[in-house]
Amino acid sequence: MDGSELRAESFTLEVEPRGAATAHLTIATPGDPARELITVTAGEHRAWWFFLPDKDLDLPAADFTLTVEGREVLVEAHTLVRDLTIYPDRVDPAAEVDDQLITLLPGESHRFTLSRPVAEPPVRCVNERSGEAPSR
């Protein structure tokens, strides 16, 4: 879960609108199910597969940089960050955010937009199961 690519597979899959398809992956058996995951990317969309429930994953401590500029919040991940959520309404009850439950690999970033500026919106993610706040 350090962002290293252990194996890769590429294929073309055609799916009708509102359809479904099954792809049989040769990489579907992990060496260590607590420390490995699968990502599948199609265009700008990505799907995640974790082999175990969150409580059984060996997630790293969350480490990311959070930059707030007006209504924009940029999160840059230094480790895997699972299901990142921003709670601006805990600071300003009228504030909302445009996206939630974002998972990032090390080196990736995501820009959130708030409905109104909030100086330091609270941030949580699955990595902090122990109750410790993420490092940012």
Strand order in the sheet with 109-113: 64-69, 72-77, 109-113
- List pLDDT tens digits, range 21-40: 888 888 778 899 999 999 98
Give the model confidence (pLDDT) of 56-79 as tens digits.
Answer: 999 999 999 999 999 999 999 999
pTM for the full model? Answer: 0.85
> For position 78, what pLDDT does the model report?
96
HEC secondary structure over 101-122:
CEEECCCCEEEEEECCCCCCCC
Q: Does pLDDT of 127 surpass 70?
A: yes
